[in-house]
Amino acid sequence: MTPVVGFVGLGAIGKPMALRLAASELDVVVFDVVAEPVTELVGAGAETAGSVAELAGRVDVLCVMVRDDDQVRDVLGEAIGGARDGLTVAIHSTVAPDTPDALADTAARHGVRVVDAPVSGGAMGAADGTLAIMAGGSEDAVDACRPVFDAMAGKVVHAGPIGAGTRMKLARNLLHFIAFTAATEAQRLAEAAGLDLLELGSVVRHTDTITGGPGSIMHRPTTAPLDPDDFWYGVFDHVRALGEKDLRFAIGLADDLGVDVPLARHALDRLAAGLGLPTREDA
């Protein structure tokens, strides 16, 4: 059965997500406290509700993309008050790790299922329907949301029980923002060396689309130390050798130019162990 889907929170990412739903074969009902995006969604074929409670009484799956934990709790509380039988609430907002479990417990007492389903890919991914959605919840609850998720995303992962989607999103964004910080360190080094930072950025974006960037090493199901007979041992030992060489060169350049590169020094110390290889001291 094709679900009727509701959407609350038509902001920078929520609005293009809802527009993808409106362009699909799903019936869509929206609510937001701001009038302009609601008007745009109506123009795209969606219907509107006068409140979250009304919306929850008209839909099978309710998508929530609001600002923070407090707003998510408020929306869920209103939704529970008007929920139709069998309602599943998909929380796309990134919340604290313990919030989904608490929300699911509260909702279950009223016959409402909760899936935590944060997204990755930003406004661009939302606009073109290529988001990654990381879902946490029961099989039945996630299955109820799949037609909705598939209309908005290029990749849907059932990460595990309730809360697993949020934990996966936090791990993904840990990498994301550490990488941003590393990029600022690289920019300072490049600027001190008299290089064009815009050209450096273009090189990074170009080569990351080829190599996969940091995700290119994420093929193992464990972070345990590698056995020397493991296929990945030789691959990662090669990565380690290249990485340590280039990091030493970059740190030497930074020292010559008087640039502080603490992340590079930390990476040099931690690269081998992080890849599952013995450090030079252990070898």
C-alpha–C-alpha distance, residues 89 and 116, integer Å: 8
| Stated pTM of the model | 0.94
Compare 95 and 283 and report the one with higher pLDDT. 95
With respect to residue 283, please indicate whether it lies within any of the assigned structural domains: no
Each as own residue / partner, the long-range contacts of residues 204-208 (CB below 8 Å, 24 or more positions apart, any chain) are none
97 phi and psi angles, rounded to 5 deg: -60, -30
**Tally of domains within the chain:** 2
Instruction: Decide: 119 and 13 in contact? Cβ < 8 Å.
Output: yes
Look-up: residue for tokens 């609005």? Answer: 15
Q: Which of 15, 155, 169, 245 is catalytic?
A: 169
Greatest Cα-to-Cα distance within the chain, rounded to the nearest angstrom: 68
Condensed to tens digits (0 to 9), the pLDDT of residues 105-134 reads 999 999 999 999 999 999 999 999 999 999
- Examine the domain organization and report whether 152 and 18 are in the same domain: yes
Percent of the chain past pLDDT 70, that is, above it, reads 99
Instruction: Decide: 110 and 83 in contact? Cβ < 8 Å.
Output: yes
- Examine the domain organization and report whether 206 and 75 are in the same domain: no
C-alpha–C-alpha distance, residues 86 and 149, integer Å: 18
5 phi and psi angles, rounded to 5 deg: -120, 135
- Examine the domain organization and report whether 189 and 143 are in the same domain: no
Give me the half-sphere count of Cα atoms (radius 13 Å) on the Cβ side of residue 42. Answer: 10
With respect to residue 253, please indicate whether it lies within any of the assigned structural domains: yes
- Examine the domain organization and report whether 10 and 139 are in the same domain: yes
With respect to residue 280, please indicate whether it lies within any of the assigned structural domains: no
Condensed to tens digits (0 to 9), the pLDDT of residues 187-200 reads 999 999 999 999 99
Report how far apart the first and last C-alpha atoms of the chain are (Å, whole number).
59
Of the three residues 139, 162, 185, the one that is the final residue of a domain is 162
Mean per-residue pLDDT, 3-22: 98
The domain that holds 116 is classified in CATH as 3.40.50.720
Q: Does residue 169 have an active-site annotation? A: yes
- Examine the domain organization and report whether 82 and 185 are in the same domain: no
Burial 131-145 (b: 16+ CB within 10 A, else e): bbbbbbbbeebbebb
- Examine the domain organization and report whether 158 and 172 are in the same domain: no
* Kind plus residue range of the DSSP H or E element containing 101: helix 99-108
Look-up: residue for tokens 């609601």? Answer: 38
The domain that holds 206 is classified in CATH as 1.10.1040.10
C-alpha–C-alpha distance, residues 203 and 226, integer Å: 32
With respect to residue 279, please indicate whether it lies within any of the assigned structural domains: no
Give residue 130's domain range. Answer: 4-162
Q: What is the pLDDT of residue 282?
A: 59
Model confidence at 1: pLDDT above 80: no
Distances from the Cα of 191 to the Cα of 152, 195, 254, 274, angstroms: 40, 5, 11, 29
Mean pLDDT of the chain: 97
Give me the half-sphere count of Cα atoms (radius 13 Å) on the Cβ side of residue 162. Answer: 21
* Kind plus residue range of the DSSP H or E element containing 6: strand 4-8
Condensed to tens digits (0 to 9), the pLDDT of residues 44-76 reads 999 999 999 999 999 999 999 999 999 999 999
Q: What is the pLDDT of residue 113?
A: 98
DSSP assignment letter at 3: P
Condensed to tens digits (0 to 9), the pLDDT of residues 136-187 reads 999 999 999 999 999 999 999 999 999 999 999 999 999 999 999 999 999 9
Which residue(s) pair with 134 in the sheet? 157
- Alpha carbon dihedral 167, 171, 177, 183, in 10-degree steps, equals -170
Model confidence at 262: pLDDT above 80: yes
- Examine the domain organization and report whether 224 and 104 are in the same domain: no
